[in-house]
Structure 1
Amino acid sequence: MIAGFVMLIIAMGIGRFSYTSILPLMQSQTHLTATESGYLAGSNNLGYLIAGFGAGFITWGNRRAHHLRIHLILCIISTGLMGITSSFIGWLFLRFIAGISSGLIYVLSSSLVMDALISYKREKWVGFFYGGVGTGIALTGLTTPFLSHFTWRGAWIGFFVVSLILTLPIWSYIHDAKPQPLSTNSASKHSLILPHSIFVWLLVAYGLEGLGYIVSATFLVAMVKQMPNISAFADFSWIVVGLAAVPSPLFWSWWASHASYIKPLITALILQALGVTMPIIMPNIIGVVIGSILFGGTFMGISMLSLAAARMVRQSNSNYAIALMTGFFGIGQIIGPIGAGFILEAAHSYSLALIISASVLALAVIILIFGTVILSKTELNCMSQSK
């Protein structure tokens, strides 16, 4: 579990989200435009989409650890090469490779760790494992100000070195465990609570989440850099996001164990929409802190709850269900930053992009509520007819 935790730090915190903290440096030192910034984020998200969607259709057998090691190396190398390359096309390619590798690391490490936890009847520990994402985000936020003294190149190369240091002690723990019969865990009771037809509503809502959350996940630090009087707080805002994300999987998994998945999911989406708009409602340090806490405390929870719910209602073909969910989520992640880049170029302000982002998240809430109400009425009708 600790090895998986560290791999999430490398793959997600560094491989994917370090771009958010380094972006302001690249914009100021390489004259990267908002549109180009969006394309780089979209390229990474496209790689992540291909990896997450494709992973559901690949039969890994007992070679998961082998592929995991390969993609861990690719993730680290592509991060370091970002600091050596000066070509925009080169950056697009490297971010694409980082997206593929980080996506496969996320899928394969989750698979290995979950198998181990289930084998030892420690399913409740999964929240600690997913805390690696928030830890990685906090780490990049803390480290970037120091690495920035060596320019944007030093930041990328510095994260390459950090990733190598983190990999060395866990390398020998990356291996395929002997297959164990899956035990019936407490989460299985939720499959009785959730009707199978909720999957379509979950699918659409999760796609909207990918579109809505990624704007803040890409441009938060750059936005705070441009806010009067608190620009020096920009890097700290990303640290707050990471710190809030560390314990969030534990909280949301605890609530889900007491209230199924839909109510916590709707609540998390509402809180995230509020968090996205807080820097607009309160354009000061308080608004940014509250927004960062709400955003960091929900995005991993939403992902975990959505995928867990999909897995429960499609137990007979869970790999396909998760791959489809990841595909819709990934499409949203690609459209989000590219569209936001065009909006930023036209409006010269982050406010409109964030308002649209929050509106998309609000639409996801409406869809889930609407779907739940329709399904509840359908079930009542079926019960009355059976009587």
Structure 2
Amino acid sequence: MVLWQRSANSAILLAGIFALIVGVGVARFVFTSLLPPMLEDSLSISFAGILASINYFGYLSGSIFSVFLKNIHTKVRFFRLGLVICVFSSALLGLTDNGIIWLLSRLIAGFGAAMALVVGSSIVMLKLKSINKTKAMGIHFSGLGFSIVVSDLIVRAAFYYGSSWQDAWLILAFVGAILACYSGYILTFDKQPDQRAEHHGFERSLFTPMVVILIIAYFTEGVGMVVQATFLPDIINSLDGLVGYGGYVWLAVGLAGIPSCIIWMRLADKYDSLTMMMVALALQIVGILIPVFSTNIFMNLLSGMLFGATFIGLVALFMNFAGQQSIKNPVLIMGAITSAYGVGQIVAPLYCVALINYYGNYNAALLLTAVIVACGIVLLAFAKKHHLSHLL
């Protein structure tokens, strides 16, 4: 059966999508789905922000660590370890309410997510053969949208049958374990003697002006995505007349995100990646600002759809474009830009919590976030205008 053949492109892409569901859905984004019931129970908004920030710190650590993985088989081992960490750390949240354990769990979950996304995506890119890799990686990154939808639907099903949010974490860990087994089986390479195994060194020459611009711009996107990725359901529930609609808007994020990667990657293939990045960032700003100026449910559903369609598409655009800067060692540049993304994700929840506590709403945090994302557009426009990509 082709889906069990490690060299089949369809199996490679499916395994990559499953890895993103485990690493990004179960270990990261489902926290957003479960945040409202956890806030209603005993979790404070301040502690929620700290948990989000430390999760992104773990993600940053994993991203930096991935840059220095040289042997291809070592990458596979840490990718598999990351999947195990994602499952184990999620199960812990359903087994205890100890604050210290929660902090440690979210920290290692972030590291595991980086192994699943950064290292896993580089393995997928290296394994794919004889097809347009730009379009194929768009299919792979559609797993980010699936990660939100699948994890959110599992949570909804758990609540429908009377489960608590603790039970939901355990169910998610169980499903994640099944998907992780398939990904770990497919995404590997044939064994070779150590002297023949491919090694990837740290090459400073790869950090061209274009790559530096990408790193800084992806930092602004890290800030841009994390505010809504962490708080969106609660943002919607806090608006007049929209109590209880936050979960539906979050589901709209995932649904819009599934096809977005394929669409953005096709547009990048037809036009150019830098232009598509700028367009996506501009649309994301619109989505960020809608809850500030409107309490209409349809407008806020649009906000969620714009967020899902852009932040997931931007991950695909940045990661693929960065990987192309070093086809032989894509994990190096992917890890570098993702590290900057991680720094943005650490900073954003902290300033958001401070502004929320000071003003009593999300407006100031959303406005500041929109300004930071706009700086990313300016940076990419500068790179395009001065043709920095020609310096590669």
After TM superposition, the score normalised by the length of structure 1 is 0.87
**Counterpart selection for 1:161 from 171, 174, 197:** 174
Q: Kindly tell me: are residues 88 and 308 of structure 1, through their superposed partners in 2, closer, same or farther at Cα, counting changes over 3 Å?
A: same
Q: Kindly tell me: are residues 50 and 367 of structure 1, through their superposed partners in 2, closer, same or farther at Cα, counting changes over 3 Å?
A: same
| CA distance in 2 between partners of 1:50 and 1:200 (Å) | 19
**Residue 81 (1) aligns with residue 92 (2):** yes
Aligned residue number for residue 105 of structure 1: 116
- 1:261 deviation in Å? 1.2
Aligned residue number for residue 93 of structure 1: 104
After superposition, residues 36-55 of structure 1 pair within 5 angstroms as: 36-55=47-66
Q: Is the 8 A contact 2:67 2:332 kept in 1?
A: yes
| CA distance in 1 between partners of 2:389 and 2:92 (Å) | 55
Q: Kindly tell me: are residues 36 and 257 of structure 1, through their superposed partners in 2, closer, same or farther at Cα, counting changes over 3 Å?
A: same
**Residue 58 (1) aligns with residue 59 (2):** no
After superposition, residues 279-298 of structure 1 pair within 5 angstroms as: 279-298=291-310
Q: Deviations over 1:163-207 (max 9, x none)?
A: 13434555532432579xx9xxxxxxxxxxxx9533322221111
Q: Kindly tell me: are residues 328 and 168 of structure 1, through their superposed partners in 2, closer, same or farther at Cα, counting changes over 3 Å?
A: closer
Aligned residue number for residue 69 of structure 1: 80
| CA distance in 2 between partners of 1:76 and 1:204 (Å) | 31
**Counterpart selection for 1:116 from 92, 108, 127:** 127
Q: Is the 8 A contact 1:34 1:344 kept in 2?
A: no
**Counterpart selection for 1:226 from 207, 218, 238:** 238
Q: Is the 8 A contact 2:122 2:331 kept in 1?
A: no
Q: Kindly tell me: are residues 330 and 6 of structure 1, through their superposed partners in 2, closer, same or farther at Cα, counting changes over 3 Å?
A: same
Aligned residue number for residue 238 of structure 1: 250
Deviates more, 1:267-276 or 1:150-159: 150-159
2:149 corresponds to which letter in structure 1?
A: A
**Residue 325 (1) aligns with residue 337 (2):** yes
**Residue 342 (1) aligns with residue 357 (2):** no
- 1:8 deviation in Å? 0.8
**Residue 134 (1) aligns with residue 153 (2):** no
| CA distance in 2 between partners of 1:45 and 1:311 (Å) | 22
Q: Kindly tell me: are residues 157 and 353 of structure 1, through their superposed partners in 2, closer, same or farther at Cα, counting changes over 3 Å?
A: same
| CA distance in 2 between partners of 1:321 and 1:263 (Å) | 20
Aligned residue number for residue 151 of structure 1: 164
Q: Deviations over 1:310-360 (max 9, x none)?
A: 344456875443322112111111001111111111111011111111111
Q: What is the identity percentage for the equivalent residue pairs of Structure 1 and Structure 2? A: 29
Q: Kindly tell me: are residues 55 and 377 of structure 1, through their superposed partners in 2, closer, same or farther at Cα, counting changes over 3 Å?
A: closer
| CA distance in 2 between partners of 1:378 and 1:107 (Å) | 23
Deviates more, 1:7-16 or 1:141-150: 141-150
Deviates more, 1:203-212 or 1:91-100: 203-212
Deviates more, 1:152-161 or 1:205-214: 152-161
After superposition, residues 24-39 of structure 1 pair within 5 angstroms as: 24-30=36-42, 32-39=43-50
Aligned length: 364
Aligned residue number for residue 186 of structure 2: 173
Deviates more, 1:206-215 or 1:227-236: 227-236
Q: Kindly tell me: are residues 172 and 269 of structure 1, through their superposed partners in 2, closer, same or farther at Cα, counting changes over 3 Å?
A: same
SS in 2 for 1:232: coil
Aligned residue number for residue 190 of structure 1: none
| CA distance in 2 between partners of 1:316 and 1:125 (Å) | 17
| CA distance in 1 between partners of 2:45 and 2:271 (Å) | 42
Aligned residue number for residue 216 of structure 1: 228
Q: Deviations over 1:63-99 (max 9, x none)?
A: 4333322221111011011111212221111001100
**Residue 261 (1) aligns with residue 273 (2):** yes
2:110 corresponds to which letter in structure 1?
A: G
Deviates more, 1:227-236 or 1:80-89: 227-236
- 1:378 deviation in Å? 12
| CA distance in 1 between partners of 2:54 and 2:304 (Å) | 25
| CA distance in 2 between partners of 1:315 and 1:173 (Å) | 21
- 1:120 deviation in Å? 3.4
| CA distance in 2 between partners of 1:69 and 1:307 (Å) | 20
Q: Is the 8 A contact 2:280 2:310 kept in 1?
A: yes
Unaligned runs of 5+ in 1: 183-194, 380-387
Q: Is the 8 A contact 1:196 1:314 kept in 2?
A: no
Q: Deviations over 1:129-151 (max 9, x none)?
A: 11111111012222323334322
| CA distance in 1 between partners of 2:377 and 2:347 (Å) | 19
- 1:303 deviation in Å? 1.9
Unaligned runs of 5+ in 2: 1-12, 193-197, 199-206
Q: Is the 8 A contact 1:133 1:245 kept in 2?
A: yes
